């Protein structure tokens, strides 16, 4: 089967702010309380999408859920009209309120785990919505994400969209950020690699439970290999596997300290793809890898052949990391191009190019079944840019999240986006 991999990027929402809600995410903690720029953030994300569209790649987007998360606050007992709910929550529990204001759904790699049709038990693409149970602010996303994915991938002949797993630590699931797929080609059967944490006394949360990966594999009927993320990587701030490793078709690019059992993982990958290529980097430390997000790059197969790394500009600005990139490009592997993008607003909150996208490998017939409103062409991309430029706030001070004028501005931005999507 021929297949195309579509990148569905999260459209960065109008409440993008730096509240520092994510223990273990060093960039998020370091920038807590800083002034964010939602308009610039969303336009940076859209510019990245356009770079890939211009290279002939298929690009989609996932709209942000409404924030502040009024429905979540109502479910926790805050009552009254919308403004009253927000005012009560801000006054009575400011920490909870800040969590309800998070725009973290922008990182679509955490939206779901995607199992390609050739790998699943019934030939459909399976999307298992992530529960994101470890972090309060992210757990608020799950129900919204499930509804959005059911809209985009509504055709049950081609897609199976699963609800989140139980929202407990036993099934803590961070989605595609801890999932990799090794296959000879996107349209062929592959091996699904689930990377998990464990209770090892780490100073940062080990967010992905092994049981979650096992459940996703059972639900989809996929062949799976479960492997433990290295404790050293988590201690250094690699809160997801995609901060230290990325795979594409038969290629794995990873830091040498990414996995506890690299030999077992590589052996499984070689069985799944006889032409498997492991590109390991040991010339930089984990601190450089994490601050630059070298491995949180998108690794893509280009239409004309070869593979490209879509890197954040921070990788080019670090001389040690850029030397490592040049070594990768000059090596005996399919990665032959670096595409540098500016996603600084996302990076300051702890998410690089790979965090911003959900990868969906898909055949031609299933592609035609996707809701076309969420696939970008030149016109739709221009509409989104104009919408963001007109309605997204220019700046948000994290100390001013309780300002009713900000809630109203965010609501108006979401109304405008809903109106755009309502036009067929």
Is residue 240 flagged as an active site residue?
yes
Q: How far is CA 260 from CA 228, 264, 401, in A?
A: 6, 9, 41
Q: List the beta bridge partners of residue 8.
A: 60, 358
Closest CA to 248 of 288, 214, 279: 279
- Our CA angle for 104, 108, 110, nearest 5°, is 80
Whether 170 sits among the annotated catalytic residues: the reply is no
Say whether 195 sits in a helix, a strand or coil.
Answer: strand
With H, G, I as helix, E, B as strand and everything else as coil, classify residue 3: strand
Rounded to 5 degrees, what are φ and ψ at 335? -80, 110
- Both tokens assigned to 271: 């069985």
The catalytically annotated residue of 5, 355, 391, 414 is 355
Q: Which two tokens stand for residue 169?
A: 């630590």
CB 142 within 8 A of CB 164: yes
**Site of tokens 């595409």:** 339
CA distance 269 to 117: 19
Return left, alpha or beta for 243; rule: phi > 0 is left, psi -120 to 50 is alpha, else beta: alpha
Q: Give 60's contacts (C-beta < 8 A, 6+ positions apart).
A: 6, 7, 8, 9, 152, 360, 370, 374, 375, 376
Sign (positive or negative) of CA dihedral 68, 70, 71, 76: positive
Find all residues with CB under 8 Å of 410, minimum gap 6, and list them: 13, 14, 15, 66, 67, 68, 393
Torsion angles phi and psi, residue 120, rounded to 5: -85, 165
Q: Residues 5, 141, 174, 314: which is the catalytic one?
A: 174
Which two structure tokens, joined as six digits, stand for 79? 């009552």
Question: In degrees rounded to 5, what are phi and psi of residue 143?
Answer: -70, -40
Place of tokens 């000879």: 184
Residue that is written with structure tokens 């730096």 in the block: 18
Cα separation of 224 and 194, whole Å?
A: 7
Annotated catalytic residue within 240, 255, 391, 414: 240
Q: Which residues are catalytic?
A: 174, 240, 355
């Amino acid at each position: 089967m021929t297949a195309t991999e579509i990148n569905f990027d999260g459209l960065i929402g109008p409440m993008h702010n730096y509240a520092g809600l994510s223990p273990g995410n060093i960039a998020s903690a370091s920038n807590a309380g800083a002034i964010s720029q939602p308009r610039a953030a969303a336009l940076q994300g859209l510019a990245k999408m356009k770079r890939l569209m211009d290279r002939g790649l298929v690009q989609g987007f996932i709209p942000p859920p409404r924030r502040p998360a009024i429905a979540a606050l109502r479910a926790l007992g805050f009552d009254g009209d919308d403004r009253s709910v927000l005012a009560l929550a801000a006054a009575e529990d400011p920490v909870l309120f800040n969590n309800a204001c998070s725009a973290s759904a922008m990182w679509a790699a955490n939206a779901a785990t995607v199992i390609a049709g050739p790998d699943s038990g019934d030939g459909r693409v399976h999307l298992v919505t992530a529960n994101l149970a470890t972090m309060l602010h992210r757990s608020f996303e799950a129900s919204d994400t499930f509804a959005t994915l059911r809209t985009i991938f509504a055709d049950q002949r081609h897609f199976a969209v699963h609800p989140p797993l139980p929202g407990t630590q036993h099934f803590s699931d961070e989605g595609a950020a801890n999932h990799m797929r090794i296959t000879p080609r996107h349209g062929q059967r592959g091996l699904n690699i689930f990377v998990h944490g464990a209770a090892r006394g780490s100073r940062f949360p080990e967010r992905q439970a092994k049981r979650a990966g096992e459940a996703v594999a059972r639900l989809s009927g996929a062949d799976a290999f479960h492997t433990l993320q290295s404790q050293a990587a988590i201690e250094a701030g690699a809160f997801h596997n995609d901060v230290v490793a990325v795979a594409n078709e038969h290629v794995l690019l990873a830091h040498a300290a990414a996995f506890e059992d690299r030999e077992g993982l590589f052996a499984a990958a070689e069985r799944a793809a006889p032409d498997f290529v492991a590109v390991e980097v040991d010339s930089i430390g984990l601190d450089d890898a994490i601050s630059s997000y070298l491995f949180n790059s998108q690794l893509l197969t280009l239409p004309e052949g070869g593979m490209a790394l879509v890197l954040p500009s921070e990788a080019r600005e670090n001389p040690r990391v850029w030397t490592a990139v040049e070594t990768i490009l000059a090596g005996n592997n399919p990665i032959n191009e670096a595409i540098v993008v500016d996603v600084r607003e996302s990076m300051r909150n702890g998410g690089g190019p790979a965090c911003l996208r959900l990868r969906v490998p898909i055949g031609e017939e299933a592609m035609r079944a996707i809701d076309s409103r969420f696939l970008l062409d030149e016109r739709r991309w221009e509409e989104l840019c104009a919408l963001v430029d007109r309605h997204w706030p220019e700046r948000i001070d994290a100390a001013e999240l309780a300002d009713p004028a900000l809630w109203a501005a965010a609501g108006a931005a979401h109304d405008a986006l809903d109106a755009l999507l309502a036009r067929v």
